[in-house]
Chain A
Amino acid sequence: MRIKVLLFFLFTMSLTAQNNAISPGEKLVYTASYNMSGILTDLAEVTMETSAVKTSKATLLRLKCTAATYSQWDDFFKIRDLYESYVSPKSLTPYLYKRDINEGSYYKYMKYTFSHKTKAAKSQLKKKNNYEVHKTVTISTGTKDIVSTLYNLRILDYSKMSHGAQKTFTILFDAKEIKGQITYLGREQISTAIGKKECYKLAIGSNQTQVLEGKNNNFLWLTADENKIPVYGKFKIPVGNGELKIKSAMGLKH
């Protein structure tokens, strides 16, 4: 019954939220760490960068995410990943997405060209040994790639949300549409490398029942200001926890 009542109050937000938090020239640097019983091991550096990209017809926003392992790990498992999304600066609607993964001896390249009018996305998959597959995938209204979805979290209005409010995203991943879900868990103050910050706490990827029963272990903290930058992430992995902690933030809009 309690769950039904909560579901009744489920918050539904508009899909066409306007970007007032992200501008070109922003650079966020994170440290990805592995935490086992409080002992931290730094693994990689993750960078999230924005820039303006001009074509003859329009100016788009390039959202770029890179992940690179620290030198001590390079001999064991070298990671050099590049994720890019070219989006509308106002609504963060993606038009082109690229994912270039180099992890150890594994290589994968994925590209989506979105056509929101025809509700289709052309995908291109490349792997080692000249393996290449082209597909056209039917997409729903508001389908986004993983990078633009991550940035979209920053243009939601959390100040009007109540505890337990949910938002579902449709994400195109590996040429398939998957559902992602966030649950707003209220405000929390946390200490970060860029100071003590009042944050919005979000649970990622699980349904509300799991979150409220304490079964969820994936959380993201966004600053409770106009920039809404992700400052801390905690993700459950089979043994221990994965953590994403902000190292520096430059070129913020506000």
Chain B
Amino acid sequence: MKKTFTIFAMITSILAIILSVLPVSNLAVFPAIAALIFGLVAFYLSKKTGAVKKIIQFSFLLTIIALGITTYKAIFNTVELGNTDTLIKKEAESKEQAIEELEELDLEEFEAEDIDIEGK
């Protein structure tokens, strides 16, 4: 039982560390909470049976680091749009191309009242 909780605490704390360094750092909260719970149970069981293993303390350390990174990123990181130069260029090209394509269309076939036809 003690071993199982220790393994779970280690796995979830490693997962929390991985998530905290990714853009989805907010989601690291879930495994971090799980790691704390598993760690505390493992710590309690270890204390009952004898000496507390260093690995449990290590999982606590990893969890605290993960929560620290997550909190820092949530407070100081602001979301900003990536480079959209290519998209802006594409938008302009597409508009020019569309005007040419619309010129080719037989607009006479469209309902006269539906469209603002100049000079009519």
> DSSP class of A's interface residues: helix, strand, loop or mixed?
strand
The size of the chain B interface, using a CB distance under 8 A, is 37
Judged by a CB distance under 8 angstroms, whether A167 is at the interface is no
Q: How far is the CA of A174 from the CA of B30 in the complex (A)?
A: 39
B87 and A62 form a contact (CB under 8 A): no
B90 and A41 form a contact (CB under 8 A): no
A39 and B107 form a contact (CB under 8 A): no
A42 and B79 form a contact (CB under 8 A): yes
Partner of A68, one of B30, B84, B115, B117: B84
A70 and B101 form a contact (CB under 8 A): no
B102 and A96 form a contact (CB under 8 A): yes
Q: A53-B99, A62-B98, A88-B114 are in contact. Are A37 and B30 (CB under 8 A)?
A: yes
Q: How far is the CA of A91 from the CA of B115 in the complex (A)?
A: 8
Q: How far is the CA of A31 from the CA of B84 in the complex (A)?
A: 16
B117 and A57 form a contact (CB under 8 A): yes
Judged by a CB distance under 8 angstroms, whether A66 is at the interface is yes
Judged by a CB distance under 8 angstroms, whether A98 is at the interface is yes
Instruction: Closest B residue to A74 by CB, please name it.
Output: B82
Q: How far is the CA of A31 from the CA of B80 in the complex (A)?
A: 11
Please list the 9 inter-chain residue pairs (A to B) with the smallest Cβ-Cβ separation, ordered nearest first: A71-B82, A74-B82, A117-B109, A72-B23, A57-B107, A70-B79, A80-B87, A59-B116, A55-B102
Please name 8 pairs of A and B residues whose Cβ atoms are closer than 8 Å in the assembled complex, sorted by A. Answer: A39-B30, A57-B118, A62-B98, A72-B23, A73-B23, A88-B115, A100-B94, A117-B110
The interface of chain B, by Cβ under 8 A from chain A, is 22-24, 26-27, 29-30, 77, 79-84, 86-87, 90-91, 94-95, 98-99, 101-103, 105, 107-111, 113-118
